[in-house]
Amino acid sequence: MAAIFRPHANVAAKAVLLGLALLLLTGTAWWWGYPRTDYARRVGYTIDQPIPFSHEHHVAGLGIQCELCHSTVEVSAKAGMPPTYTCMTCHSQIWTNAAVLAPLRDSLASNTPIAWGRVTNLPDYVYFNHSIHVAKGVGCSSCHGQVDKMALMAKAAPMTMQFCLDCHRNPGPQLRPESEIFNTEWVRTTTMPSPAAMVQHYHIGGRNLTDCSICHR
Ligand code: HEC
Ligand code: HEC
Ligand code: HEC
Ligand code: HEC
Ligand code: HEC
């Protein structure tokens, strides 16, 4: 039978097919992988704020407690942002004429809260609650990093579903004593009770923390 295609057409066709397969594969990998990169998740990036507020200065420098400004973190789903008068307890006396604080004075005068931008934001279809994490031995820095080292706030963790599940599968090693919840420098040491003992201490168990309905309700 006469060959319609010459032998090397076969090779070319294979090469084209292989090329297409590779393109599909890298395309899929990119489509799936890119949204999960730290770049796409804005990890480590700061955002513009009405006032360049520094946690480094106020937390590490002045030693102000998280709860003074994020006062609902232990009792409600939201940590909350400080109202203007919290800043004014000090700034009605210090830096009263500073230009950077003009938005603060405007906010007080016009009785409108400062519109702080957000670096951590979950989609609406995810349920999250601060108070239970705090009550069960999960500290701020496990999710927000060392904010006392941040001159400007940046997101420390990707906040993907994977990030949440990594801990929900096995929270023990990340649980800390009650006294360390707000400590941004905390790391697990060998003198601490075992992860299993921490899990027992906080009465964790009895429900499966990876069930979809825990976070999607
Ligand atoms: C417990 C007192 C206190 C509270 C509360 C407070 N500050 Fe300050 N703030 C200070 C002091 C002290 C300085 C530093 C002055 C200096 O540099 O010596 C400062 C400095 C600043 C500066 C100048 C830049 C910098 O970080 O050095 C900004 C901006 C600022 N504060 C914003 C705020 C805002 C916004 C709030 C409320 C969310 C707030 N502060 C709450 C005490 C306070
Ligand atoms: C003096 C007030 C003050 C104190 C003390 C303070 N914060 Fe804040 N915090 C703010 C303000 C104002 C913002 C909004 C501006 C910004 O992002 O820097 C904020 C933002 C944040 C955010 C960003 C949330 C988001 O989604 O953008 C986190 C996380 C946070 N604080 C954690 C902490 C932790 C943890 C501590 C204690 C170690 C702490 N803060 C202490 C005032 C404070
Ligand atoms: C288990 C992870 C986790 C821990 C632990 C945690 N946070 Fe958050 N935090 C988040 C997430 C997720 C958001 C965004 C919530 C949203 O968009 O609904 C957030 C948002 C915030 C905000 C923005 C305001 C708000 O309430 O949405 C502040 C401020 C904050 N956290 C402070 C803290 C402080 C202070 C602590 C420690 C006492 C803490 N967080 C512990 C995950 C955590
Ligand atoms: C470092 C560990 C850790 C991380 C990270 C973490 N969690 Fe949790 N989470 C826990 C622990 C511990 C509990 C309490 C379990 C219990 O009570 O049995 C919990 C409980 C919860 C609950 C149950 C609340 C309730 O009232 O029933 C929800 C919802 C939740 N987490 C959502 C999230 C989401 C969403 C994220 C990611 C943004 C996240 N968690 C990240 C450790 C973690
Ligand atoms: C510990 C909390 C938690 C649990 C448990 C959980 N999710 Fe999620 N899920 C999240 C978070 C957080 C996001 C948002 C991620 C983001 O911002 O991209 C998410 C996003 C999603 C999305 C959107 C697409 C995506 O991947 O971003 C789907 C679909 C989803 N979850 C399905 C599920 C299913 C099915 C289960 C049960 C097998 C489940 N989730 C269990 C926290 C959780």
Q: What is the pLDDT along the chain (217 residues), one digit of tens a residue?
A: 556 667 777 888 899 999 999 999 999 999 998 888 888 888 888 889 999 999 999 999 999 999 999 999 999 999 999 999 999 999 998 888 888 999 999 999 999 999 999 999 999 999 999 999 999 999 999 999 999 999 999 999 999 999 999 999 999 999 999 999 999 999 999 999 999 999 999 999 889 999 999 999 9
Q: Residue 111: its pLDDT value, please?
A: 94
Q: Are 141 and 147 in contact (CB under 8 A)?
A: yes
The four Cα atoms 180, 171, 156, 187 give a dihedral, to 10 degrees, of 40
Atom of ligand 3 nearest to the CA of 80: 26
pLDDT at 95: 86
**Cα of 122 to ligand 3 centre, how many Å?**
10
Whole-angstrom CA distances from 201 to 75, 92, 112, 178 are: 20, 44, 43, 11
Measured torsion, CA atoms of residues 131, 153, 121, 45, in degrees rounded to the nearest 10? -150
Measured in whole angstroms, the distance separating CA 92 from the mean position of its chain's CA atoms is: 32
Residue 20 Cβ inside 6 Å of ligand 4? The answer reads: no
**What token pair was written down for 106?**
């405007």
What local confidence, expressed as pLDDT, does residue 185 receive?
94
pLDDT at 66: 96
Look at residue 52 in the predicted model and tell me its pLDDT: 95
Long-range pairs for 59-67: beta carbons < 8 A, 24 or more residues apart: 59/147, 59/148, 59/184, 60/148, 60/149, 65/182, 66/140, 66/182, 67/182
**Residue 2 confidence (pLDDT):** 57
Q: Tell me which residues have their CB closer than 6 angstroms to ligand 2.
A: 49, 53, 55, 58-59, 64, 66, 68-70, 81-82, 116, 118-120, 140, 144, 147-148, 153, 182, 184
Query: Which residue's structure tokens are 């923390």?
Result: 209
Give the pLDDT of residue 151. 94
CA-closest residue to ligand 5 atom 40: 212
The dihedral through the CA atoms of 60, 61, 63, 66 has a sign that is: negative
Quick one: pLDDT at residue 1?
A: 53
Gap from CA of 181 to ligand 3 centroid (Å)? 13
CA 57/CA 54 separation, integer angstroms: 5
Nearest CA to ligand 2 atom 18: 153
Q: What pLDDT score does 3 carry? A: 60
Structure tokens that stand for 12 in this block: 């070319």
- Please tell me the predicted confidence (pLDDT) of residue 188: 94
